[in-house]
Amino acid sequence: MRRGLVALAAALVAALALSAALGEVALTPAQYVAALTQPGSPPAEILWAIRLPRGLAAALVGGALGLSGGLMQGLLRNPLADPGVLGVSAFGGLGASLVIALGAAALPGAVEGGALAGALLGGAALTGLAARFREPEVLILFGVALSAGAGAGTALVFNLAPSPVAASEVLAWLLGSVENRSFADIALAVLPLAAGVALAAYAARGLRQLTLGEETAALSGWTWDGGGRRPWRRRRS
């Protein structure tokens, strides 16, 4: 596993280097040298201000999706689970779509705030159900229902969009893009991603045992505590 992680890290670094070196504008060897030695030159702007932030943003988003997918697979004990299986991301898309359709996308942070509000709403509904039912099958079915409901709401936003421009903006946001990203955008994304990584590391031990089943987790010293602040806790002997 350690060798595999090292190989994947090396592949990621190589992919970032290629994403910065290659692009729509072809550079000559002299321009690559200028980009490395002259920070204010046009080749340097292309490599360090356009291509590199775009590649870093894609790497961060991909890492976040991979981490959330791994967490869902551990929580639901299903190797086919993905980040959108519980419907939280669908509610986030619905919230952002409403903000765009209402014409508030020009306000700084409005779309992001709408997506966060929708995700929190979906997460609250899911948490309320998880406090009553422990079976992963129930969470999956409820997540499918949440996704279907949010998808229907997003389709309604498309149909009732005030203009084709608004509908195209909603579609563009839902599809996602790392175009025109900057280091400031990456800095804003790093903080919540770091918080998510910390929470995942905190829950990793219990989730690792949970993937083997509740009985095995209980035999290993982990027991269910009724959905409190720490539903899975270390059992004292």
For the chain, how many structural domains are there in total? 2
Q: What is the mean pLDDT of residues 221-229?
A: 49
Q: Residue 157 belongs to what domain range?
A: 84-181
Q: Under a CB-based contact definition with an 8 Å cutoff, are residues 222 and 234 in contact?
A: yes
At 93 the pLDDT is 93
Give the other-Cβ count within 10 Å of 100's Cβ: 26
**Same domain, yes or no: 17 and 72:** yes
Tell me the average pLDDT of the chain.
84
Whether residues 24 and 64 fall in one domain: yes
Q: Are residues 107 and 123 in the same domain?
A: yes
- pLDDT tens digits along 115-128: 999 999 998 988 88
- What is the per-residue pLDDT across 151-185, written as a single tens digit (0 to 9) for each? 999 999 988 888 888 888 998 889 888 888 889 88
Q: Which residues contact 184 (CB under 8 A, 6 or more apart)?
A: none
**What backbone phi and psi angles, to 5 degrees, belong to 232?**
-105, 115
Contact 215, 77 (CB under 8 A): no
Same domain, 111 and 162: yes
From 229, 230, 228, select the one nearest 207 (Cα to Cα): 230
Q: Residue 41, SS3?
A: coil
pLDDT one-digit tens code per residue, 127-146:
888 777 767 788 888 888 99
Both 106 and 66 in a single domain? no
